[in-house]
Amino acid sequence: MWQEENNVLKRSFEFTNFIEAFAFMTKVAMVAEKLNHHPQWSNLYNKVEIALCTHDEGNTITEKDRKLANEIDKVFNGKNSLFKR
């Protein structure tokens, strides 16, 4: 579940292994590029941490962030039309 904290949307994702985590990040990267809105994220083995805010709108949460968060959830749940996990 996405959490709002200090004008940032944050969520953690956990996978079986590094390969699954990296595959997820690759899919999210392609969606982010399509939306022209890119996450701040980190990866440690099977965990991916994502933080979203819109820098050119004063580092706050905007509709761009909510849309990307929704698309990231679709990727994670295997429901994004571009990808199946």
Sketch the domain layout of the chain as residue ranges: 3-76
Query: Cα–chain-centroid distance for residue 31?
Result: 9
Is pLDDT at 11 greater than 80 in this prediction? yes
For residue 81, pLDDT beyond 70: no
Q: What is the pLDDT of residues 22-71, one digit of tens each?
A: 999 999 999 999 999 999 999 999 999 999 999 888 889 999 999 999 99
Q: How far apart are the first and last CA of the chain?
A: 19
Q: Could you tell me which residue, 55 or 16, shows the higher pLDDT?
A: 16
How is domain 3-76 classified at the CATH fold level? Gyrase A; domain 2 (3.30.1360)
The pTM of the whole model exceeds 0.85? yes
In eight-state DSSP terms, residue 80 is -
